[in-house]
A and B are shown apart, each in its own frame.
Chain A
């Protein structure tokens, strides 16, 4: 079983819709969690950290469920510019142990 699993998508939703996707992980020793965004032919860029209490950044909400071992990303009022691949990232206590999900592709249509 992969340490991190993401639905590859693609999720194809209309502009203005709310979309959510999850990332499940298998190792409960994971310490920190992040969401990255990657545009086509570009490098991954940090979108937001994920805190146990849940956190928001504008239209984006990230949540962590340690009991069920998943993190989620919710995007409200989606924009065309939100089209990208979203990667979940797990960081263990050692800086050498960072695990990336393979990404969920999101496409926003007009």
Chain B
């Protein structure tokens, strides 16, 4: 258990509304990541963070923004949700800053955009 929680766990929203997903970790990990998972595509990286106020874009960042004002929280915002953003969103951390460490995931958020 890497001490990661995500909120909300489920959300239904309408096209055009803003949505913010939260990833919270309790163990002071520096590296945090947001992914989306869709059938046939696997996990795709949206944004990642190397520390407070240090974020960068991943493979599928269009339509998403992130913020990290505290070590423990990494927020993902859909500025204006679209139906193509219906997905399962996972937050992940790397438990240590060693290059060979792999990732541990939060429980996920299921988002449905109508």
A residues at B contact (CB < 8 Å) = 31-32, 34, 42-46, 49, 87, 89, 91, 93-96, 98, 100-103
Q: How far is the CA of A18 from the CA of B33 in the complex (A)?
A: 35
Interface string of B86-108 (1 = CB under 8 A from A): 00001000100101111111111
Please give, as numbers and ranges, the residues of chain A lying within 8 Å of B50 by CB-CB distance.
Answer: 95
CB within 8 A of B100: which of A31, A45, A87? A31
Q: B42, A49: Cβ atoms under 8 Å? A: no
Q: How far is the CA of A93 from the CA of B98 in the complex (A)?
A: 10
Please give, as numbers and ranges, the residues of chain A lying within 8 Å of B40 by CB-CB distance.
Answer: 102
Nearest neighbor of A4 in chain B, beta-carbon distance: B42
Interface range on chain B: under 10, 10 to 19, 20 to 34, or 35 or more? 20 to 34
B residues at A contact (CB < 8 Å) = 31, 33, 40-43, 45, 48, 50, 56, 58, 90, 94, 97, 99-108
CB within 8 A of A31: which of B43, B45, B99, B106? B99
Q: How far is the CA of A100 from the CA of B40 in the complex (A)?
A: 12
Please give, as numbers and ranges, the residues of chain A lying within 8 Å of B58 by CB-CB distance.
Answer: 96
Please give, as numbers and ranges, the residues of chain B lying within 8 Å of A102 by CB-CB distance.
Answer: 40-42
Residue in B33, B40, B43 with the greatest tally of chain A CB atoms within 10 Å: B43
Please give, as numbers and ranges, the residues of chain B lying within 8 Å of A100 by CB-CB distance.
Answer: 42-43
Q: B48, A96: Cβ atoms under 8 Å? A: yes
Query: Which 4 A/B pairs are nearest by Cβ-Cβ distance?
Result: A102-B42, A43-B105, A100-B43, A100-B42
